[in-house]
Amino acid sequence: MIQMDIKFLAGKVHATPWDHHVNEGVVEWPLSPWRILRALIATWHIKAQEIPREAVQELIEAMCGVDPQFAMPKQIGSGHTRHYMPTRTSTTKVFDTFLIVSAEDRLGVRWPVDLSPELHDVLETLVARIGYLGRAEAWASVELSKREWDESEAICSTKRTEEGELVRLLNAYPPSQYEAWREGMMQGWSHHALVAAAEKKGKPLDEVKLSAKEKAKIEERLPESLFDALQLDTADIQKDGWSLPPGARWVEYYRPHAEPPDLTRISYDTGGQLPQVATFALYSNVLPLFTDAFHVASIMHRALVSRDPSNPLFSGRGADGEPLKGHEHVFIFPEHESGKKHISKISLYLESGFDNDAVKALLTLTKLYSQEGEFQEQKLVLLELSEAKSAQCKAVGSSKVWESYTPFVATRHPKIRRNGTAKYENGLVVGSSEHDLRRLLAEGGYPGPINVTVVDSTTLAKEERWLKFRTHRKSRRGARGPHLPTGYRIEFAEVQAGPIALGYGAHFGLGMFVPVEISGIS
């Protein structure tokens, strides 16, 4: 039996899964067997070259194809930093998301493999010299252990459990299976090369043969052994177009839900101001459409209220169950990436700020799912907790010009006189869409705009008209007028601070405006 204990010396786990980009805010947890095997090999190359290759290969191949168990700390938090990485011509912004664990907590890994005394010594040497696991900033101390796992740890294994969530981790094939897979790949590539040669030469397939050079070129496409495959550079694997590293396979693990860390004492470096914005990244195989922003925000609200039903700033309702007056409760702002049609982030905005109890509730938001099955279950990663002035939320900013990001839906009905004619005020039909927009701006304390123009569409993956957006609740409840959803561009005489969210569903992603930067105006 092989058992390791891994401590993260800085209290942070930085590890991006194979099938995700660093900016998606996803952290691999627990660390995949594939990552640990590669770390052992890297340590041999850099710090233990006195060990013969044959011994290291024998050790690694003994561990390959076996799915280990994990014993994880129960209390896990998350955090992130934002910084710019230099490129050859400019800089690129990076979200570095990490998990937070105690520097004294251990991640236990147990391989059901029996080693000879000689291989055990090799393994002991390698693990003692590992300096990090994950990305280079994930400093780690690793040692072999014989301790018993206890109830303070959460057990993650391939055994199905009722509680917990399904996660995929990379592991290696058994060496014999890799050899069979490689042989099959070679035969397939050779056949394709023969077919191409036959078509080019105009000959039957059985009359064409590959040259020794062509055969050697095919042989070079895949490492001869699994041990060599584990040493391939990630950049080369991606450059060659592999969707999965050669020799790797996905293994389904059942991971217990983590408990949030003890946050009874939290400090914020915000000059005494509580964080006003909490931004979550969404990730799954299929993200929800941005045109369903109202529906997704409503489900986010339901999930938030379930964490603390008695908090009126979450529910928007007082102790008597009646809706609160004003707009002091939380706003939910879905966002999409430029040129994309799916929701990638959701920001929660609370003018008064999130206190410690609210932050605890936010840290338990790890999933978003539709009870009606209208979209795939989404995993949530908390990217930031910050003041509005430093938040990376599109709805928060300052400008003289604001433009619709989601459609505005008026809450009033047009006013008709007894004689059947429309009632006007300042040249607008009272209760019309634009009239209602101006009324709500005044109620929100904004000065009268100097210009309001209609915006016909928005740009997602392509131009989309506002009618594409879902703007009705299934229950059909809420103060909603009969008007079609509309987009507007609002110009003020002076710079106005956001967020600006108006009309029906304003707390649930509708009527969201974003600041526009225009030279000479903003």
DSSP string, 209-255: ---HHHHHHHHTTS-SSHHHHTT--HHHHHHTT-SS-TTEEEEEEEE
Q: Which residues pair with 451 in a beta bridge?
A: 491
* C-alpha span between 42 and 34 (Å, rounded): 12
Helices 53-63 and 33-47 meet at what angle, rounded to 10? Answer: 170
Compute CA 466 distance to the chain's CA centroid, rounded to the nearest angstrom.
27
pLDDT tens per residue, range 254-313 = 988 876 555 443 334 445 678 899 988 887 778 899 999 999 999 999 999 988 888 888
Among candidate residues 143, 144, 171, 141, the one with its CA nearest the CA of residue 158 = 171
pLDDT tens per residue, range 80-117 = 676 676 767 777 766 677 888 888 889 999 999 999 99
CA distances from 387 to 232, 364, 397 (A): 43, 21, 11
Per-10-residue mean pLDDT for the chain, 522 residues long?
91 86 81 95 94 95 93 77 70 74 89 94 94 88 91 87 84 92 88 84 81 82 90 87 90 82 44 81 84 92 88 83 80 90 92 87 83 76 82 88 94 83 84 91 92 91 88 68 88 92 92 77 41
Output the pLDDT for position 333: 95
Output the pLDDT for position 522: 40
Q: What is the 3-state secondary structure (H, E, C) of 267-320?
A: CCCCCCCCCCEEEEEEECCCCCEHHHHHHHHHHHHHHHHHHCCCCHHHHCECCC
* C-alpha span between 206 and 203 (Å, rounded): 8
Number of H helices, E strands in the chain: 11, 24
Output the pLDDT for position 79: 66
Q: Tokens 């049609």 identify what position?
A: 341
**Please, where are the H alpha helices in 137-233?**
175-201, 212-219, 226-229
Which residues, 6 or more positions from 166, have their beta carbon under 8 angstroms from its beta carbon?
Answer: 252, 253, 254, 255
Output the pLDDT for position 93: 67
